[in-house]
Structure 1
Amino acid sequence: MDRGQGRDNWAAMHGGFGWQVPDSFNIAQACCARWAREPDAAQRVAIIAHGTEGATLTFARLQQEANAMSNLLVGLGVRRGDRVAIVMPQRFETAIAYMAVLQLGAVAMPLSILFGPDALEYRLQDSEAVAALCDESSAGAIAQVRAQCPALRTVVGIAGAAAHADIGWEAQRAQLQPEFAPVQTHADEGAVLIYTSGTTGPPKGALIPHRALIGNLPGFMCSQNWFGFDPLRPGSRSDAVFWSPADWAWTGGLMDALLPSLYFGRPIVACNARFSPETAFTLMQQHGVTHTFLFPTALKAMMKAYPQPRTQFALALQAIMSAGEAVGDAVFGYCRDQLGVVVNEMFGQTEINYVVGNCAMNGRTEDGIGWPARADSMGRPYPGHRVAVIDDEGQECPPGVPGDVAVHRYDVHGKPDPIFFLGYWKNEDATRRKFTGDWCRTGDLATRDADGYLWYQGRADDVFKAAGYRIGPSEIENCLVKHPAVINAAVVPKPDADRGALVKAYVVLAPQVAQARAVATPGPDSFDARLVAELQSHVKDKLAPYEYPKEIEFIEALPMTTTGKVQRRVLRLQEEERARGART
């Protein structure tokens, strides 16, 4: 048993779980309308705006504004099944837009405000979105590509974006009725069209049904330690306050943060500020955040900036979920020892969201609830999901043998798993290739141990061979981050004529080390040379001799997707291009 994590109840929880999915289900009805009908709807807070003193949006107000926006969209010709782009950061109007689009039966298409014109144009064209809702952060970029998107009939500007739009939301609001008759959608109907991050090719639109929110709930509750509810007391109330820097335009921010928080009638903090460790800790202290979803990259930065945060901040944390990259045992120990919370690492992807993870209840030992988290493990299948490590033929791999993490269409009781996406938008071939029989392949490699825990080995296209050895980048990156000089790292192959490839590491230095490096004197025994040797020795001492990086390059920031994942592919292609240049 892991210290302070309680008993291992995984087998009983997994075996005793059964899905209950109604024929008709609508995300907006479940996340807003039902709370808006409660007597306390005018006082129950749905969203807290960080940085705006006392600014909150109640469920009653959220529903009224969503009704008005639904009426506006219907008046603009938006119909059931139409795609509506939502291109806004974490703010009140973003949540309003999701509720408005979903309750009228249209398909919400989240787009990040970080997307440039090319990325926006591709997605708007491919989806054939008929309308777009944007604010000042994205209106200019949409205006640049508007002419190349013939299906885009209307652009609605919000909060000062009217100059770049066809109409302004605020100017129309007074004329719109606060009542709207919602569409009764089928649980299998498309609700959200989210484009994959495109780390291995052109982005693909994953069409997510309304029922997928139900499929998400076991993972959310397990990773968030029951989200403030008492699992042994039906009808208990929660005092949870949620926050995550995850963009509400991608699966982690929308399906794992905004929507489940609203589903359980609890407030979520909206923050538009650029992420920094100071902002994160200050926000959590100010708003009494109890539950959070933080990327490993964010946790690494927080660990380096505030090694002992509780000496400076009064925190109320009860649960931390993390995903996107391997957490690593250094961050795992930091969360447990310095934040007082055992981090629940989880794994999923856009098409199926989180299906594997941990459920450490942080010292609670009730019978039947939770299982211990193991440092650096992806965890075990969440209740309701049948997950395995399979080989190329679709057969389950024995313990310790790496294979592709895959999710079965049916749970252990033979019932359909509601978490599955409906398919890739206008791409039946890609949808077929995603499956081997009833197994949905994730493209992520892992091993399974005898207790059913999965251990991440990397993306299938990230694993490489160097001098005949199979190299998974995650273990080396985790080792590098344990060094006090390193804040983040990415490992890729560097082409080599003799050995096929060399292990190369791109390293982001901690701020104080980067400052010292900037003023250091060059020379044969330079700051860089000494630090490279120190980091190489650090890895040699902890891993196999063939795993240490033969070359280290210091970089200000790693290329990242909008979902917080390191784009090793970008660095790998850079190395291949450099190798071609050296040969010519």
Structure 2
Amino acid sequence: METAPNLADYEGLSKVFEWDSIYADADWDAPDEINVAHEVCDRYRTDRGTVALYFVGDDGERERITFWELAQWSNGFANVLETLGVERGDRVFGYTPRIPEQYVAMLGSLKAGCVYGGIEPQLGTDEVAYRLADAEASVVVTTPENRDTLETALEDVPSVEHVIVVSDDGVGVRRGDVSYYEAMDRADNEYETVRTEGSDPALLYYTSGATGSAKGIVHGHRWIVGVAAAQLYAADLQQHETDLYWGAGDRGWLTAPVNALGVWFWGHSILAYGGGFDPDTWTALLEEFPVTVLSGVPAHYRRLREEADDLEPDDLDLHRAMSTGDPLEAELIEWGEQALGTPIADSYGQAETGNMLINTYPSIETRPGSMGKPLPGVEASVVDPDTGDELEVGETGEIAVKGEFPSFFLGYWEDPERTDEAFVGDWYLTGDLGRIDEDGYFWFEGRADDAGER
């Protein structure tokens, strides 16, 4: 029997929605006291059988990691940091491909009160050095494959005191490095998570720099509540007892924690694949695993449409397919309904907004080319970037939001002037052009400047 979506009445809930309704689902006294790692991991550790992560490596290896194991291991990593002398507020970065250990490092860092960031493993020496130096990072977690690039990058990053290398056999661990597995074997698996507040920094992720210099974007621990709301309403989680979410975003961008931590907040499972995009592999994984929610970019879906001939909706468990990055054409949406069993739903967000800000929800009409409507609790509009005045229906201006929702950024890293420049009055300017139609749907019209990246 099909159940109603979580957001069955978009207009009705949007009128009365209060963020306290999501804060109330947190285990601690949010937002006054909240820690991302506790909310997405530790409170589910008592059931040792609940799977947090299904991992498939690029070599075909399979791992099945429970919330209990994730809690134990992240406790160990927090203790490793403490043993190394890493302190609350220090920056810890992951520079690895998709591997389970990066989730452990992320959660352990947050438990210790550190600020965690990711670096896309395909980035080169200069880009890696820039991010680590700008953040004054103390610790980098990496793999042997990325160790050479990191070594050159660290010549310009005196702040990094420890390199932790994830290596099964010790190969690639250099003199002075910390062997991840050796350190974890010695570490205690009990740890008392640091009591953090909602406005305490938790994440530091950089934009791609495609439209200007890469910007470090800081999010507080309250961020998790905004992301949890998006996963609840846009991904429509909790409609199935065993939701399995596959988010294809790379580890170095904010989409990675969005696609994992927002799902774990509700105690659901995620699938992570360590290899690159390949239509045949994706088809096989969708058929092997009971994936109920798939999140990708339009390019993924286009290639699946062009190259994956064996997709049959009867072989899949999908109830939501989501996309962000570029507008979706009508033909692709229709293909999704035929091949995946569900239309592909567009969404929009930025690193600064920390979240899928505008979405096509299950209960609203899908309009090809439109990104949908704002998340309940988010005030978004299209404004004149010079005055902040809201524009009339159909007029093109800059997409803007008011920063009173949990996943909105705390600011650009160590750059209050740049943060102030991103606002006109109370409106944060996304740097993206758009318009709103007579029914409140948002339509993307292109870039306005280098204020951010979609």
CA contact (8 A) 1:32 1:63 kept: yes
Counterpart Cα distance in 2 of 1:403 and 1:375: 20
Counterpart Cα distance in 2 of 1:148 and 1:33: 37
Which residue in the other structure is 1:384 paired with?
A: 377
CA contact (8 A) 2:52 2:65 kept: yes
Counterpart Cα distance in 1 of 2:10 and 2:272: 34
SS where residue 138 of structure 1 aligns?
A: helix
What are the Cα deviations for residues 490-542 of structure 1, in whole angstroms up to 9, with x where unaligned? Answer: xxxxxxxxxxxxxxxxxxxxxxxxxxxxxxxxxxxxxxxxxxxxxxxxxxxxx
**Structure 2 portions without partners, runs of 5+:** 24-29
What are the Cα deviations for residues 47-89 of structure 1, in whole angstroms up to 9, with x where unaligned? Answer: 1121455521111111111111111111111111110111122
Question: Which of 229, 232, 240 is the equivalent residue of 2:243?
Answer: 240
Counterpart Cα distance in 1 of 2:67 and 2:227: 22
Which residue in the other structure is 1:157 paired with?
A: 165
1:204 counterpart = 2:207: no
CA contact (8 A) 2:323 2:346 kept: yes
Counterpart Cα distance in 1 of 2:152 and 2:78: 26
SS where residue 354 of structure 1 aligns?
A: coil
Q: 1:6 to 1:424 in 2, by over 3 A?
A: closer
What are the Cα deviations for residues 248-287 of structure 1, in whole angstroms up to 9, with x where unaligned? Answer: 32121211x1111221212211211110111111111111
What are the Cα deviations for residues 24-50 of structure 1, in whole angstroms up to 9, with x where unaligned? Answer: 1110000111011x2x2x211111121
Which residue in the other structure is 1:342 paired with?
A: 343
Q: 1:77 to 1:459 in 2, by over 3 A?
A: same
Which residue in the other structure is 2:85 paired with?
A: 77
Counterpart Cα distance in 2 of 1:441 and 1:8: 30
CA contact (8 A) 1:157 1:164 kept: no
Which residue in the other structure is 1:288 paired with?
A: 290
Give the C-alpha shift of residue 309 in structure 1: 2.1
User: What does residue range 490-569 of structure 1 map to in structure 2 within 5 Å?
Assistant: none
SS where residue 30 of structure 1 aligns?
A: helix
SS where residue 183 of structure 2 aligns?
A: helix
Counterpart Cα distance in 2 of 1:355 and 1:139: 36
CA contact (8 A) 1:132 1:152 kept: yes
Counterpart Cα distance in 2 of 1:5 and 1:207: 32
Counterpart Cα distance in 2 of 1:172 and 1:7: 45
- Point out 4+ residue stretches in structure 1 off by more than 3 angstroms: 4-8, 51-54
Residue 247 of structure 2 aligns with an amino acid whose one-letter code is S
Counterpart Cα distance in 1 of 2:183 and 2:61: 27
CA contact (8 A) 1:241 1:289 kept: yes
1:216 counterpart = 2:227: yes
SS where residue 351 of structure 1 aligns?
A: coil
CA contact (8 A) 1:5 1:372 kept: no
SS where residue 163 of structure 1 aligns?
A: coil
Counterpart Cα distance in 2 of 1:249 and 1:28: 18
Greater shift, 287-296 or 120-129, is seen at: 287-296
Q: 1:424 to 1:7 in 2, by over 3 A?
A: closer
Q: 1:193 to 1:54 in 2, by over 3 A?
A: closer
SS where residue 43 of structure 2 aligns?
A: helix
1:419 counterpart = 2:407: yes
CA contact (8 A) 1:46 1:265 kept: yes
Give the C-alpha shift of residue 13 in structure 1: 1.8
Q: 1:441 to 1:110 in 2, by over 3 A?
A: same
SS where residue 186 of structure 2 aligns?
A: coil
Give the C-alpha shift of residue 308 in structure 1: 6.5
CA contact (8 A) 1:140 1:164 kept: no
User: What does residue range 248-263 of structure 1 map to in structure 2 within 5 Å?
Assistant: 248-255=251-258, 257-263=259-265
1:12 counterpart = 2:12: yes
Residue 285 of structure 1 aligns with an amino acid whose one-letter code is E
Residue 191 of structure 2 aligns with an amino acid whose one-letter code is F
Q: Pairwise CA RMSD of aligned residues?
A: 2.2
Counterpart Cα distance in 1 of 2:7 and 2:97: 40
CA contact (8 A) 1:135 1:157 kept: yes
What are the Cα deviations for residues 406-436 of structure 1, in whole angstroms up to 9, with x where unaligned? Answer: 0012xxxxxx321210110122221011111
Give the C-alpha shift of residue 163 in structure 1: 3.2
Counterpart Cα distance in 2 of 1:376 and 1:282: 29
1:117 counterpart = 2:148: no
Higher RCO, 1 vs 2 (CA within 8 Å, ≥6 residues apart): 2
Q: 1:8 to 1:241 in 2, by over 3 A?
A: closer
Give the C-alpha shift of residue 168 in structure 1: 0.3
Which residue in the other structure is 2:27 paired with?
A: none
Counterpart Cα distance in 2 of 1:339 and 1:178: 42
**Structure 1 portions without partners, runs of 5+:** 231-236, 361-369, 410-415, 463-560, 566-584
CA contact (8 A) 1:139 1:165 kept: no
Give the C-alpha shift of residue 5 in structure 1: 10
Question: Which of 418, 421, 432 is the equivalent residue of 1:444?
Answer: 432
User: What does residue range 347-496 of structure 1 map to in structure 2 within 5 Å?
Assistant: 347-352=348-353, 353-360=355-362, 370-392=363-385, 393-409=387-403, 416-461=404-449
Counterpart Cα distance in 2 of 1:274 and 1:166: 28
Looking at CA atoms only, which structure, 1 or 2, has the larger radius of gyration?
Answer: 1
Residue 451 of structure 1 aligns with an amino acid whose one-letter code is D
SS where residue 242 of structure 1 aligns?
A: strand
What are the Cα deviations for residues 318-355 of structure 1, in whole angstroms up to 9, with x where unaligned? Answer: 10111011112121111122221122211010010221
The percent of aligned pairs where both chains have the same amino acid is 29
User: What does residue range 40-51 of structure 1 map to in structure 2 within 5 Å?
Assistant: 40=47, 42-51=48-57
Residue 208 of structure 1 aligns with an amino acid whose one-letter code is H
Counterpart Cα distance in 2 of 1:185 and 1:349: 25
Which residue in the other structure is 1:498 paired with?
A: none
Q: 1:349 to 1:6 in 2, by over 3 A?
A: closer
CA contact (8 A) 2:125 2:152 kept: yes
Which residue in the other structure is 2:26 paired with?
A: none
Question: Which of 100, 107, 114 is the equivalent residue of 2:115?
Answer: 107
Which residue in the other structure is 2:333 paired with?
A: 332
1:183 counterpart = 2:179: no
Give the C-alpha shift of residue 10 in structure 1: 2.1
Counterpart Cα distance in 1 of 2:37 and 2:75: 11
Which residue in the other structure is 1:25 paired with?
A: 34
